[in-house]
Amino acid sequence: MCGICGFIVDQKDSSYDWAGTLQVMTRRLVHRGPDSEGYHCTRTSGSVVGLGHRRLSVIDLSEQANQPLGNEDDSVLIVFNGEIYNYKELTEELKGKGHRFKSHSDTEAIIHLYEDRGDRCVDRLRGMFAFALWDQIKGRLLLARDPMGIKPLFYVLKDGNFYFASEIKALLAIDEVSRDMDLVALDHYFTYGYIPGSHTIFRDIKKLPPASYMVLESGEITITSYWAIQYLPKTELRDEALSEALLDTFMKAVKRHLVSDVPVGVFLSGGVDSSIIAALMSMVGERQFDTFSLGYATGGDDELPYAHMVADCFHTTHHAFRVDPEMTRILPVLLWHLDEPFFDNSIIPTYYISKLARETVKVAISGDGGDEVFGGYEWTRRNQYRIAFQRLPGFVRNPLKKASAELAVAADYGTGLMPKIRRFLSDMNADMEAGFLRRTAVSRRFRQALYSGAFKDELGDFDAIGYRDQLLSEAQVTDIREKMLYADAVSYLPDDCLFKVDRMSMAHGLEVRVPFLDRELVEFAARIPFNYKIHGLTSKYILKKTFSRALPGKILKQRKQGFTIPISAWLQGQLGGLASRVLSSDTFRRRNLFEKEFIRWMLDEHTSGRQELGHRIWSIVVFEIWARLYLDEKVDSTPAVSLREMID
């Protein structure tokens, strides 16, 4: 795993130190690749081309695999972040065609595959990747990102100059890249908890979408999508035959993900998905491997007992620790690594488990992606309740429907019995899309109450909910349930789950691999009939059925808990005072983005226990700390202050 960056800029001022600028950009990514550093900077045809690389050595640890890496005559150069799991097969095929290799790295296979197939080289790559490839003879730059968006890639095109990087912080080293905030992106953040699609929090900076490649030629960029999840036609396999085919596909995926010249461990939460990964590791012949788990010292349930059960089952070398509220002190460090405001509080345990794993291994395998691919989220079960409710006689349903109408903001998060009943009835009476949106997004009504008049004026009629509507409409499938799976897979998965894991693991120079998102496995799973994913009230049915003999029964029957901290309980305790000081500070008020009376109401309601607003409060605290780092202080290296020091 690595960090990449670079540019193609107009050579107007021949005295400007572009090589020095490239060095600054690259060194802002040192955490992604602590093993070595490489540069290519040259002037050509009135432009300056720069490629920078920070390396985490995992495959071919020799200096011959250092980057930027070139073909036989260095007319094609690449900087690459990720792993190509089928590189050995590609290498043998390309050698058979006369290509000469100077290393044993997976990176070099991409170069020669490009020479052989051009931009469509991406079709043959199996792995996680983001790369930039400079074709000096043709004068063109090719950038690409893997199908599921496991690895990140950001870019700026401004005044004829083009810049790219694995992380935003490297782009902010460029003077002409503005820190002006995009309020549309900010509305996306407060709607979903993350910033989806091509947006970033900065107006000038964009994301290359997953499953896309970009070509920069003659100052113009074109973006092409090269792959999409196909849910049709459905497989004709059923029951045992389906389980056998799934197991075979999954085992091949895990074998591919074990390609490494360094030890590989497993993130073991104790949930179904990570337990399946541990089982498969054992099945494919990994006799001894390390597993890593975490729990919570106060205020919440965790899955540590289940993780220990699985570790004992497969005789792993197990490592575990517990997170406590005081560990939130590192929030400024986490947000610096994230570059953008990001609501998902599981960044904290992800950061700490990555730190724990890096003490033992360079590579860890996680169970991310199982919920999006096989249907594991809460909305899937709630929809089954809704179907049963809709079968009730009209004389029963209609009065209940009337009672749930006009749900007030205060009822959205109320902890009492009546608010909970009203929310349940609202879900039962709504169509599937509305129920899905209520579970995955913050309502416009709530956001309108939160935002200041100036913020609302700037947004006008814009509503970030439209992005999720767009995803549902573009899914190439008619079943609304699979439309929702699609929306999760192309938005929440890359822009929340994978974004979080990439940043928190790379903060420690740890590579994390995700076999659930192996391209062949995703394609196979997409064509499994939906009723084999959600069967009655059982989520991930075919997955659990397939591994029922390999895992303890308690693992398969436990309720999904997720990889999140008990932030609501903590905000009613020792974190509550910190949050109150942040949100009542003069610095926060001067931003003029939020209604101070509504903020005060939120804090009072949550502290009293009348409303469960911990996640909403946390999202605002996170934004404010991020703004102080990136807008006010413009911190360009890991901050040395704790959360408490930053507030007091």
- The DSSP secondary structure of 165-211, one letter per residue, reads ESSHHHHTTSTTS---B-HHHHHHHHHHSS--TT--SBTT-EEPPTT
Sequence-separated (6 or more) residues with CB below 8 Å from residue 222: 214, 215
Q: Are 165 and 202 in contact (CB under 8 A)?
A: no
**485 closest CA partner among 635, 404, 374:** 374
Instruction: Determine how many CB atoms are found less than 10 A away from the CB of residue 474.
Output: 12
Q: Among this protein's residues, is 5 annotated catalytic?
A: no
Q: Burial, 282: exposed, middle or buried (Cβ in 10 Å; 0-12, 13-18, 19+)? A: middle
Angle at 202 between CA 161 and CA 338, to 5 degrees: 110
Q: Distance between alpha carbon 376 and the CA centroid of its chain, in Å?
A: 17
CA dihedral 586, 588, 593, 597 (to 10 degrees): -70
**622 closest CA partner among 64, 69, 255, 193:** 193
Asked whether the CA dihedral 51, 140, 491, 624 is positive or negative, the reply is positive
Sequence-separated (6 or more) residues with CB below 8 Å from residue 423: 407, 411, 412
User: Which pair of tokens denotes residue 32?
Assistant: 């992604």
Alpha carbons 222 and 215: distance in angstroms, whole number: 5
2, 41, 121, 497: which one is catalytic?
2
Angle at 605 between CA 599 and CA 610, to 5 degrees: 155
CA count, 13 A, side-chain hemisphere, 643: 23
Point out the residues that are catalytic. 2
